[in-house]
């Protein structure tokens, strides 16, 4: 098992912890029976066939052969999953993946199109309903540019449609003969990183999707059968209800903290996973994320002495980074002659000690390193922890009844 969880300033009564561990093990069992709706993602890593992965890799190879860029038009889970994996694992072995459609900003779209048009490009459009406003507006604009440049037949060959069985995108793909992939009905956007919509962009970036799925399989096999497997899921709920913090305060915010810029979008993915799974019925812990040491020089004061309404969840990597520098000898002590990575590690230790001394609950989650195996494991591990944690709260982790409100107000305003 390569994911390790430590905690400080979290105190739970032994009896209570035992009972919660039993409830968590039950919740995990329930996830696997198929009795809960929208749990297709639970067994997906073991059920996805080699043929399916080969088909995705074949489409990715075609993109790599005829394109320098892939414009992915997706939003929410159809953006954050692939984007966070690519940020963590991209080694430049595939095409450059550009993300569009996660908003209506014309200036950003203009820049994206200009970059793609500096070479050859393909487009992958992802929308389950086929009607998401940002997606069909943006995809329309991209498609118009492709039609001008490549003509109708070639545009169809360069367009990869990932959508549900019906709707505008499905109809268009059929009419034009575009390569189509599906989105399972029983997997929601925030749990969809291992579906076609996540895997095709990841494979096009040159990342080994079989190894990524392998990491998820390993998590499923090894990470959830110990007595303390769900302690992260349990601690966050008890911190929220105020029974696990030493001062008895209810912790209303969870701060995910990273030490590597490559994990920033993974932080956004975690925010969607937990925020959208848990934030309903007037409940939920509000998720935030920070990048250290950068944000210690802005939010460090608040973390050390501000209102104690939060706990911290640090995500730390065990292996050292691939590049390194030695600080030159002409720099003052104690830094002269030191590896940058060693100073960084001391900063990690220093931050933990300082925040623990301040009495803040600090949960630390260690992963091995930024490779397909560890990242696949981590994504799956967090999905399970999230679902179990939200089930412990007594909330449905798999619906999102509030997301239509602004869309219907927006249509009124149009």
Dihedral sign of CA atoms 327, 332, 335, 337 in order: positive
Q: How far is the CB of 172 from a second copy (least distance, A)?
A: 9
Q: How far is the CB of 71 from a second copy (least distance, A)?
A: 14
Q: How far is the CB of 127 from a second copy (least distance, A)?
A: 11
Under DSSP, the state recorded for 213 is: H
Cα(174)–Cα(179) distance, integer angstroms: 9
Return the number of the residue (229 or 361) whose C-beta is nearest a second copy. Answer: 361
Return the number of the residue (50 or 110) whose C-beta is nearest a second copy. Answer: 110
Q: How far is the CB of 15 from a second copy (least distance, A)?
A: 27
Determine the Cα angle at 228 with ends 223 and 230, to 5°.
65
Rg from Cα positions in the chain:
22
CB 255 within 8 A of CB 300: no
369 an active-site residue? no
Helix (H) or strand (E) holding 38: none
Q: How far is the CB of 249 from a second copy (least distance, A)?
A: 10
Q: Which of 134, 276, 278, 377 is catalytic?
A: 276
Return the number of the residue (233 or 296) whose C-beta is nearest a second copy. Answer: 296
Half-sphere exposure of 163 (CA within 13 A, CB side): 26
176 an active-site residue? no
Instruction: Using CB atoms within 10 Å of the CB of residue 266, give its burial: 0 to 12 exposed, 13 to 18 middle, 19+ buried.
Output: buried
Q: How far is the CB of 79 from a second copy (least distance, A)?
A: 8
CB 130 within 8 A of CB 182: no
CB 304 within 8 A of CB 358: yes
Q: Which of 91, 111, 407, 409 is catalytic?
A: 407
Cα(32)–Cα(190) distance, integer angstroms: 18
Cα(63)–Cα(66) distance, integer angstroms: 5
276 an active-site residue? yes
Return the number of the residue (47 or 401) whose C-beta is nearest a second copy. Answer: 401
Return the number of the residue (110 or 225) whose C-beta is nearest a second copy. Answer: 110
Alpha-carbon separation of residue 305 from 11, 244, 301, 355, 358 (angstroms): 21, 20, 6, 9, 7
Q: Which residues contact 232 (CB under 8 A, 6 or more apart)?
A: 5, 313, 363, 365, 385, 389
Return the number of the residue (55 or 264) whose C-beta is nearest a second copy. Answer: 264
Q: Which of 47, 297, 404, 412 is catalytic?
A: 297
Instruction: Using CB atoms within 10 Å of the CB of residue 280, give its burial: 0 to 12 exposed, 13 to 18 middle, 19+ buried.
Output: middle
Q: Which residues contact 144 (CB under 8 A, 6 or more apart)?
A: none
Q: Which residues contact 84 (CB under 8 A, 6 or more apart)?
A: 263, 265, 266, 268, 269
Return the number of the residue (190 or 217) whose C-beta is nearest a second copy. Answer: 190
Q: How far is the CB of 228 from a second copy (least distance, A)?
A: 27
Q: Which residues are catalytic?
A: 276, 297, 407
């Amino acid at each position: 098992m390569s994911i390790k969880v430590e905690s400080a300033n979290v105190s739970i009564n032994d009896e209570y912890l035992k009972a919660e561990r039993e409830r968590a093990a039950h919740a995990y069992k329930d996830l696997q029976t198929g009795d809960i709706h929208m749990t297709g993602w639970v067994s997906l890593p073991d059920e996805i066939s080699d043929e399916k992965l080969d088909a995705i890799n074949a489409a990715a190879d075609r993109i790599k052969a005829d394109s320098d860029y892939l414009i992915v038009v997706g939003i929410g889970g159809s953006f954050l999953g692939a984007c966070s994996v690519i940020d963590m694992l991209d080694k430049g072995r595939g095409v450059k993946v550009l993300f569009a459609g996660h908003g209506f900003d014309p200036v950003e779209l203009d820049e994206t199109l200009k970059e793609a048009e500096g070479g050859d490009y393909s487009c992958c459009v992802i929308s389950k309903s086929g009607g998401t406003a940002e997606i069909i507006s943006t995809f329309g604009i991209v498609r118009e540019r492709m039609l001008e440049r490549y003509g109708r037949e070639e545009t169809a060959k360069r367009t990869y449609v990932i959508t549900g069985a019906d709707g505008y995108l499905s109809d268009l793909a059929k009419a034009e003969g575009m390569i189509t992939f599906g989105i399972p009905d029983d997997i929601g956007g925030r749990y969809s990183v291992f579906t076609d919509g996540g895997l095709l962009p990841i494979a096009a970036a040159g990342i080994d999707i079989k190894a990524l799925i392998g990491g998820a399989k390993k998590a499923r096999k090894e990470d959830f059968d110990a007595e303390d497997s769900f302690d992260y899921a349990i601690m966050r709920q008890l911190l929220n209800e105020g029974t696990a913090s030493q001062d008895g305060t209810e912790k209303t915010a969870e701060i995910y903290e990273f030490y590597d810029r490559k994990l920033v979008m993974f932080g956004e993915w975690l925010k969607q996973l937990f925020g959208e799974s848990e934030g309903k019925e007037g409940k939920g812990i509000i998720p935030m994320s920070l990048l250290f040491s950068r944000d210690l020089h802005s939010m460090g004061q608040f973390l050390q002495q501000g209102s104690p309404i939060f706990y911290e969840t640090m995500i730390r990597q065990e292996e050292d980074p691939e590049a390194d520098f030695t600080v030159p000898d002409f720099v003052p002590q104690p830094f002269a002659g030191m590896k940058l990575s060693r100073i960084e590690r001391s900063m990690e230790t220093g931050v933990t000690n300082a925040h623990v001394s301040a009495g803040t609950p600090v949960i630390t989650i260690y992963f091995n390193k930024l490779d397909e195996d560890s990242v696949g494991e981590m994504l799956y591990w967090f999905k399970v922890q999230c679902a179990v944690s939200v089930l412990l709260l007594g909330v449905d982790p798999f619906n999102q009844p509030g997301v239509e409100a602004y869309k219907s107000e927006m249509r009124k305003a149009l």
